């Protein structure tokens, strides 16, 4: 274990040294802000796996369960989830605090430390609830269906995922931020006119107060089953030009028209089934090869999580590639439904300046990290469209 820890610290030195001093950063900003963002991101990737490996090697779940003293799984498994998340969050805290202060220093965030900890406390509660449900379901399902447990577990999670996706915009997101209807005026009138021209009537238009936490811009579409809504950050509404906001709305409308949100949910559910099946195959192989205990043994939980996270890291480039393609489709839709493309070009420049983004990251970073196409690629697509017109 000591060798692994020393290897990780050597990895940190290489990662931060490369991004701080050697990475060819292209940005509208005059700082290495985006490079530090890359360094923090790639530094955190191995942490969950190292933490889980330590738990597996030292049989910590069993030791924690013995100290807890509760034999009933309804009490012991949520307790184990709580202890696990405490440790998981603790090892990530130095990187999270570093990034908090980097954002404050760079001016992309103005959130107070107390507010930041409050948000993280809410995150912890939701993660704990989700992980507790998973631990309980896993134990129940593998005990009753020792052979077909991957399919049964997946079927159990389908309604849970759909419920969360439906409930999140209505009850969860407002716990973090203040939402209100987009106020009446020229912007709302023009947005509704564009929506009507495409025979769209049911979208809710909201604004969310983000200026007390960030200075960057964003908008997004979410919700299913009649609760679809387009949300604009107030920073965007207060500081971007009318035409720029309309282009951003056209982009989000593209996601809605092409059903990207539904496609994303279905894709992740299908991906989850593949992930569970592969995990079961690997888990059974390891149990036979190393004569491990039954699936109901408490140490199967961290081993299961280790396999799932390892597979997730390996397959993440695929999901990111799908996301980038959806974003390209939404960009093309926005271009087709925007008259003044120069204003659209200005919106990309404005967002790049404010976010201090890496506008043309290395290809391997795009594949391993970016859910959106690089800003340079998106601006070139707009430039080509302007020339064609």
Query: Is 348 within a domain?
Result: yes
322-351 average pLDDT score: 93
194-221 average pLDDT score: 90
pLDDT tens, 41-52? 999 999 999 999
Q: Quick one: three-class SS letters along the chain? A: CHHHHHHHHHHHHHHHHHHHHCCCCCCCCCCCHHHHHHHHHHHHCCHHHHHHHHHHHCCHHHHHHHHHCCCCHHHHHHHHHHHHHHHHHHHHHHHHHHHHHHHHHHCCECCCHHHHHHHHHHHHHHHHHHHHHHHHHHHHHHHHCCCCHHHHHHHHHHHHHHHHHHHHHHHHHHHCCCEEECCCCHHHHHHHHHHHHCCCCCCEEEEECCCCCECCCCEEEECCCCCCEEEEEHHHHHHCCHHHHHHHHHHHHHHHHCCHHHHHHHHHHHHHHHHHHHHHHHHHHHHHHHCCCCCCCCCHHHHHHHHHHHHHHHHHHHHHHHHHHHHHHHHHHHHHCCCCHHHHHHHHHHHHHHHCCCCCCCHHHHHHHCCCCCHHHHHHHHHHHHHHC
Percent of the chain having pLDDT more than 70?
Answer: 97
90-96 average pLDDT score: 96
Q: Is the pLDDT of residue 342 over 80?
A: yes
Q: Which residues contact 313 (CB under 8 A, 6 or more apart)?
A: 45, 49
Q: Which residue has the higher pLDDT, 385 or 223?
A: 385
Of the ranges 87-101, 195-209, 225-239, 333-347, the best mean pLDDT one = 87-101
Total residues belonging to the chain: 389
Q: How many domains does the structure of the chain reveal?
A: 1
Query: Is 65 within a domain?
Result: no
Q: What is the pLDDT of residue 293?
A: 66
Q: pTM to 2 decimals?
A: 0.92
The domain in which residue 298 lies consists of 107-178+258-388
Query: Is 35 within a domain?
Result: no
Q: Which residues contact 216 (CB under 8 A, 6 or more apart)?
A: 108, 233, 235, 351, 354, 355
Query: Is 12 within a domain?
Result: no
162-176 average pLDDT score: 86
**How sure is the predictor about 205, in pLDDT bands with cuts at 50, 70 and 90?**
very high
CA distance 114 to 212: 13
Q: What is the pLDDT of residue 241?
A: 93
1-13 average pLDDT score: 90
Of the ranges 59-73, 173-187, 220-234, the best mean pLDDT one = 173-187
Query: Is 142 within a domain?
Result: yes
Of the ranges 116-125, 192-201, 338-347, the best mean pLDDT one = 116-125
Q: Which residue has the higher pLDDT, 294 or 204?
A: 204
Q: Which residue has the higher pLDDT, 29 or 99?
A: 99
68-84 average pLDDT score: 84
Query: Is 31 within a domain?
Result: no
Q: Is the pLDDT of residue 30 over 90?
A: no
Q: Is the pLDDT of residue 226 over 70?
A: no
Query: Is 60 within a domain?
Result: no
**How sure is the predictor about 73, in pLDDT bands with cuts at 50, 70 and 90?**
confident
71-93 average pLDDT score: 90
Strand partners, 49: none
Q: Is the pLDDT of residue 11 over 90?
A: yes
**How sure is the predictor about 291, in pLDDT bands with cuts at 50, 70 and 90?**
low
CA distance 377 to 389: 19
Q: What is the pLDDT of residue 71?
A: 67
CA distance 341 to 347: 10
373-379 average pLDDT score: 95
Least confident range from 218-227, 256-265, 330-339: namely 218-227
Q: Is the pLDDT of residue 289 over 80?
A: no
pLDDT tens, 132-167? 999 999 989 998 898 889 999 999 999 888 888 888
Q: Is the pLDDT of residue 27 over 80?
A: yes
CA distance 381 to 389: 13
Q: Is the pLDDT of residue 13 over 70?
A: yes
Averaged confidence pLDDT in the chain: 91
Query: Is 310 within a domain?
Result: yes
């Amino acid at each position: 274990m000591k060798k692994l820890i020393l290897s990780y610290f050597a990895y940190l030195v290489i990662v931060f040294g490369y991004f701080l001093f050697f990475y060819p950063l292209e940005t509208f900003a005059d700082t290495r802000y985006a490079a530090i963002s890359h360094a923090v991101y790639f530094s955190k990737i191995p942490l969950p796996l190292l933490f889980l490996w330590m738990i597996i090697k030292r049989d910590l779940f069993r030791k924690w369960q013995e100290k807890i003293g509760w034999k009933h799984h309804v009490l012991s498994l949520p307790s184990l989830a709580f202890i696990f998340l405490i440790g998981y969050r603790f090892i990530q805290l130095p990187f999270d605090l570093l990034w908090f202060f980097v954002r404050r220093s760079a001016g992309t965030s103005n959130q107070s430390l107390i507010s930041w900890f409050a948000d993280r406390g809410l995150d912890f509660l939701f993660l704990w609830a989700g992980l507790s449900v998973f631990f309980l379901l896993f134990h129940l399902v593998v005990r009753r269906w020792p052979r077909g447990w991957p399919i049964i577990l997946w079927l159990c999670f389908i309604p849970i995922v759909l419920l969360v996706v439906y409930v999140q915009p209505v009850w969860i997101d407002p716990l973090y931020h203040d939402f209100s209807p987009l106020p009446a005026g020229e912007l709302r009138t023009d947005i509704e006119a564009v929506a009507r021209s495409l025979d769209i009537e049911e979208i809710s238009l909201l604004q969310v107060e983000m200026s007390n936490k960030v200075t960057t811009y964003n908008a997004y579409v979410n919700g299913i089953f009649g609760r679809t809504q387009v949300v604009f950050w107030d920073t965007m509404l207060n500081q971007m030009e009318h035409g720029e906001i309309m282009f951003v709305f056209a982009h989000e409308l593209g996601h809605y028209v092409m059903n990207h949100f539904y496609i994303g949910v279905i894709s992740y559910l299908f991906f989850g089934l593949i992930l569970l099946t592969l995990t079961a195959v690997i888990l059974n192989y390891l149990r036979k090869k190393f004569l491990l205990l039954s699936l109901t043994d408490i140490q199967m939980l961290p081993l299961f999580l280790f396999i799932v996270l390892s597979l997730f890291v390996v397959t993440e480039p695929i999901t990111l590639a799908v996301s980038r393609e959806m974003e390209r489709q939404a960009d093309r839709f926005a271009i087709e439904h925007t008259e003044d493309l120069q204003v659209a070009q200005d919106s990309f420049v404005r967002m790049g300046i404010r976010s201090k983004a890496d506008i043309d990251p290395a290809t391997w970073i795009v594949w391993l990290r970016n859910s959106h196409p690089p800003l340079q690629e998106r601006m070139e697509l707009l430039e080509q469209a302007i020339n064609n017109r």
